[in-house]
Amino acid sequence: MSSCRACASATVSTVLDLGLVPAADSFPTAESSPEGDEMHALAMGLCTTCGLAQLLDDDTRADEPRGVEPEALTRAASRAMDEIVRRGWLPDGAVVREYGSPHGGSWIPDVRSRGVADAGPAVAGSRSADLVVDGFGLMHEPDQAAALRERRALLGDGGVLVLQVHSFMTIVRDRQWTALRHGHFAYWSSTALETALWAAGLMPTGCWESDLYGGTLLVSAMRDDSVRLPVWEDDLVTARRVREAEAAAAVTDPTVVSSLGAAAVAEVEAVRARLGASSRAGVTLAAYGAASRAVALFAMAGVTTETFGAVVDASPAKWGRRMPGTDVPIVGPEWLYTHRPDRVVVTVPDLLPEVAAAHPEMSFVDLDSATEGLRS
């Protein structure tokens, strides 16, 4: 990649380089050998002009099996729709269009349950919409500027665009280096996103926050030539506070963001040490969640079936496959009861309450807790 995915400037500095890892969105069959898995560069750049953190070159081909949407995402989407309704952005007879995540899940069933008949995915030739929702869809677009312009073109006069984005400040603050993965082209701070919205002919109208993934932003905008201005004052206050927090955290400073590299090294070493200690102590382990964000970590830590017997996942589309770069099979939840591992490590912290409630007989722990005290 020679220029920024948002502003097209040539001022993109590499801030995190994980080297060669398996493709994050390709889960081979369980019978295949990990020795045949192709390896691909995985690195993050930071534009020093507009502040966007972004995936550098990506030569992978997306063919990830669609997952089952976790309850945490369903609840977050429903709460977001509650906020949208409270702001008056879902009028009678509204037209709603959605840019969804290719990983699965949709806000549309919730929208229709609120009496909206004309609600569906954003497709070419769609009617102008009163509300366009984007549930983590934007990050999957290689050309971020073009994607924002496309969303603007779908908005009617006074229509509102709501973008759900994993806060880059959260990623930096909580050392969430595994957020970097193939197919995820942009990691937005509010500061960078507001700049890009203006450039695309969209006027930012504020944001509100969610605790999903440790910190998610829901950013609203409308066409900059709209006559009607559905602005919510509290959202402007929140947006200003978030920008100030991002400035204090220096999330557009390459030196600060480069700390993610040390976090990656520390976590890989901690996972390797914990798995080795458990194996030597005779403690049997499994993982829960064949998440794309776990692919690089598992491969870099040298995970095998000797350390994790299997990765359990709720999505039947992933059963019979394996984690890329490893020989660890992906299996259904019934595996837990036939093999009875001593402990199950949940790869996505937001899944922990859901899976613990569904399988109360099992001992679950999130990955952070499993490696607590082992990371520098």
pLDDT digit string (tens) for the chain, length 376 residues? 679 999 999 999 999 999 999 998 889 999 999 999 999 999 999 999 999 999 999 999 877 666 677 888 889 999 999 999 999 999 999 999 999 888 777 999 999 999 999 999 998 778 899 999 999 999 999 999 999 999 999 999 999 999 999 999 999 999 999 999 999 999 999 999 999 999 999 999 999 999 999 999 999 999 999 876 667 889 999 999 999 999 999 999 999 999 999 999 999 999 999 988 988 899 999 999 999 999 999 999 999 999 899 999 999 999 999 999 999 999 999 999 999 999 999 999 889 999 999 999 999 998 877 766 555 4
**Dihedral over Cα of 151, 157, 162, 163: its sign:** positive
What is the identity of the amino acid at 140? H
Give 345's contacts (C-beta < 8 A, 6+ positions apart): 285, 286, 287, 288, 308, 364, 365, 366, 367, 370
CA-to-CA separations, 264 to 18, 149, 278, 297, 302, in angstroms, rounded: 8, 34, 21, 8, 14
What's the confidence (pLDDT) of residue 376?
A: 47
Helix (H), strand (E) at residue 255: helix 254-257
Q: What is the DSSP string of 127-174?
A: PPEEEEEEES-GGG-S-HHHHHHHHHHHEEEEEEEEEEEE-HHHHHHT
Dmax (CA) of the chain: 68
CA distance 45 to 35: 29
How many C-beta atoms surround the C-beta of residue 112 within 10 A? 14
What's the confidence (pLDDT) of residue 66?
A: 65
Give 92's contacts (C-beta < 8 A, 6+ positions apart): none
What's the confidence (pLDDT) of residue 21?
A: 97
What is the identity of the amino acid at 357? A
For residue 120, give the 3-state DSSP assignment.
strand
Side-chain-facing half-sphere of 211: CA atoms under 13 Å: 4
What's the confidence (pLDDT) of residue 237?
A: 96
Give 255's contacts (C-beta < 8 A, 6+ positions apart): none
> Would you give the DSSP letter of residue 107?
S
Give 266's contacts (C-beta < 8 A, 6+ positions apart): 375, 376
Give 86's contacts (C-beta < 8 A, 6+ positions apart): none
Structural tokens at position 7: 């502003």
The pTM score is 0.93
